[in-house]
């Protein structure tokens, strides 16, 4: 029987790493029932979680239809991570009118909570249906995808609402930027960090060929940004300092509609699972909505532990000011965002962020 060694390795790793969802959801009998080709696809999806047994999710999709073609495996992994049933179906909805318990006229205004202007950001991931997922791309795929996006950016640059420029990391690209400009864009929270330092993405193949095919489009006012070639083919986001969360949410939706209408751009979607993403943690909406919230009292010990104790039961994730796997700000600022991405709508996510910030503000005032 093929892959018996791999089956034994996974079984041994699973025994020592109960937090690794992919290892725990691997079923040897299901695996043995698959064709050799599908067995290879399962092992490639799990490669990062096998080589990094301390992973939490432990797998990435490598082809746009992996979630559907390998459903018994992914349905179980999704059910565990997202705390939903194995036959859960996702629905997308950007309409705030669809959310119950919203503030008056659906205005998600942090000023009403007594908060000052905050750095607000809403991002979604998207993958082009006519390319392999980032984990399975060859260098020529990455360069071809960047070239296709250059055509799309020409459209955006001509749009008064989204006019801007594309900054490439690809050696020899006409829009290639210097290391200094790259570092400055990272420090301004606009560009993504060097992916070749991420052992999970390296093992998955998602950061392969770094930095070829990587870059970001930035609008003139720096509030509309599109990453190319990060963990998903595209990360499309709106970011601005202010108090009305609706502004970034609505501008992102409009910008997404403009990008979606550009010829040649068809995004990978699943009938049952919504927006297809590399990581199952992002599947469905692929949305992370965040604010940078100063909590000097709750972080008086220099850590975000107290914040995490309050945030976790509220379904909120706490990150550092540099994003995933970074420290909190010296002034006690933390990155707050709802953890849920799947079997929740886009509108419910931003409403959850607003309600979560209200609770954290109240706890900060009590601390
Ligand atoms: P993602 O949000 O795409 O999952 P990260 O959490 O790593 O990825 O964040 C990516 C970048 O976006 C980081 O530079 C981070 O500081 C920045 N960022 C995220 N949320 C905000 C925010 N509300 N305001 C300013 N920058 C933000
Ligand atoms: N470290 C990987 C990824 C977890 C989710 N974060 C993402 N997708 N950026 C893990 O499996 O724990």
Per-residue pLDDT of 285-334, as tens digits, reads 999 999 999 999 999 999 999 999 999 999 999 999 999 889 999 999 99
Q: Torsion angle of alpha carbons 313, 343, 11, 133, nearest 10°?
A: -120
- The answer to whether 162 and 255 are in contact (CB under 8 A) is yes
Structure tokens at 47: 């490669």
Question: Cα of 230 to ligand 2 centre, how many Å?
Answer: 13
Q: Which among 271, 323, 325 is positioned nearest to 123, based on CA atoms?
A: 323
pLDDT tier at 104 (50, 70, 90 boundaries)? confident
Q: Which atom of ligand 2 is nearest to the CA of 282?
A: 8
Question: Cα of 332 to ligand 2 centre, how many Å?
Answer: 25
β-sheet bridge partners, residue 290: 121
Mean pLDDT along residues 117-136: 97
pLDDT tier at 169 (50, 70, 90 boundaries)? very high
Tell me: the pLDDT tens digits for 205-223? 999 999 999 999 999 999 9
Residue nearest to atom 21 of ligand 1 (CA): 121
Q: Torsion angle of alpha carbons 4, 5, 11, 13, nearest 10°?
A: -160
Q: Give, as one character, the DSSP assignment of residue 62.
A: S
Q: What is the pLDDT of residue 264?
A: 86
Q: Which atom of ligand 2 is nearest to the CA of 22?
A: 11
Is the predicted pLDDT of residue 14 greater than 80, yes or no? yes
DSSP string for residues in 320-355: BTTBTT-PPPTTSEEEEEES--SSS-HHHHHHHHHH
Q: Which among 84, 90, 21 is positioned nearest to 50, based on CA atoms?
A: 21
> What whole-number distance in Å separates Cα of residue 122 and Cα of residue 285?
11
Q: Which atom of ligand 1 is nearest to the CA of 120?
A: 23
Residue with tokens 């707050």: 336
CA atoms lying within 13 Å on the CB side of residue 333: 13
Please state the pTM of the whole predicted model.
0.96
- The answer to whether 39 and 75 are in contact (CB under 8 A) is no
Q: Is the CB of 290 under 6 A from ligand 1?
A: yes
CA distances to 11, 28, 60, 217 from 37, rounded to whole Å, are: 21, 16, 17, 37
Structure tokens at 154: 């020409």
Length of the chain: 367
> What whole-number distance in Å separates Cα of residue 102 and Cα of residue 121?
20
Tell me: the pLDDT tens digits for 129-164? 999 999 999 999 999 999 999 999 999 999 899 999
Q: Which atom of ligand 1 is nearest to the CA of 231?
A: 3
The count of other CB atoms within 10 Å of the CB of residue 34 is 18
The count of other CB atoms within 10 Å of the CB of residue 76 is 18
Question: Cα of 70 to ligand 1 centre, how many Å?
Answer: 31
Q: Is the CB of 123 under 6 A from ligand 1?
A: yes
Residue with tokens 């008056």: 104
- The answer to whether 125 and 231 are in contact (CB under 8 A) is yes
> What whole-number distance in Å separates Cα of residue 322 and Cα of residue 107?
28
Q: Is the CB of 189 under 6 A from ligand 1?
A: yes
Tell me: the pLDDT tens digits for 47-69? 999 999 999 999 999 999 999 99
Mean pLDDT along residues 184-188: 95
The count of other CB atoms within 10 Å of the CB of residue 148 is 18
């Amino acid at each position: 029987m093929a892959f018996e060694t791999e089956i034994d390795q996974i079984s041994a790793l699973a025994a020592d790493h109960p937090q690794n969802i992919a290892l725990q959801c691997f079923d040897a009998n299901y695996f043995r029932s698959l064709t050799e080709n599908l067995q290879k696809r399962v092992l490639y999806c799990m490669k990062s979680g096998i080589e990094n047994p301390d992973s939490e999710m432990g797998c990435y999709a490598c082809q746009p239809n992996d979630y559907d073609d390998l459903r018994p495996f992914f349905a179980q992994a999704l059910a565990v991570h997202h705390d939903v049933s194995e036959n859960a179906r996702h629905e997308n909805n950007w309409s705030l009118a669809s959310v119950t318990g919203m503030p008056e006229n659906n205005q998600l205004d942090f000023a009403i909570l007594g908060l000052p202007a905050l750095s607000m950001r809403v991002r979604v991931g998207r993958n082009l249906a006519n390319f392999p997922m980032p984990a399975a791309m060859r260098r020529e795929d990455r360069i071809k995808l960047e070239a296709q996006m250059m055509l799309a950016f020409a459209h955006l640059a001509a749009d008064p609402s989204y006019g801007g420029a594309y900054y490439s990391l690809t050696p020899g690209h006409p829009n290639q930027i210097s290391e200094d400009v790259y570092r400055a864009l990272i420090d301004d929270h606009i560009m993504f960090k060097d992916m070749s330092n991420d052992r999970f993405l390296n093992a998955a193949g998602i950061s392969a060929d770094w930095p070829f095919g990587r870059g970001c489009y930035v609008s003139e006012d720096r509030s509309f940004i599109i990453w190319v070639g990060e963990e998903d083919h595209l990360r499309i986001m709106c970011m601005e300092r202010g108090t009305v969360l609706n502004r970034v949410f609505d501008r992102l939706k409009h910008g997404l509609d403009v990008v979606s209408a550009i010829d040649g751009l068809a995004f990978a979607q699943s009938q049952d699972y919504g927006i297809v993403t590399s990581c199952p943690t992002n599947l469905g909406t692929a949305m992370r909505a965040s604010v940078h919230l100063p909590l000097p009292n709750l972080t008086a010990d220099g850590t975000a532990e107290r914040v995490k104790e309050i945030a976790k039961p509220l379904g909120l994730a706490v990150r550092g000011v540099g994003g995933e796997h970074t420290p909190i700000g010296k002034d006690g600022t933390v990155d707050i965002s709802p953890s849920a991405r799947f079997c929740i709508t886009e509108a419910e996510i931003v409403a959850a962020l607003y309600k979560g910030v209200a609770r954290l503000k109240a706890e900060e005032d009590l601390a």
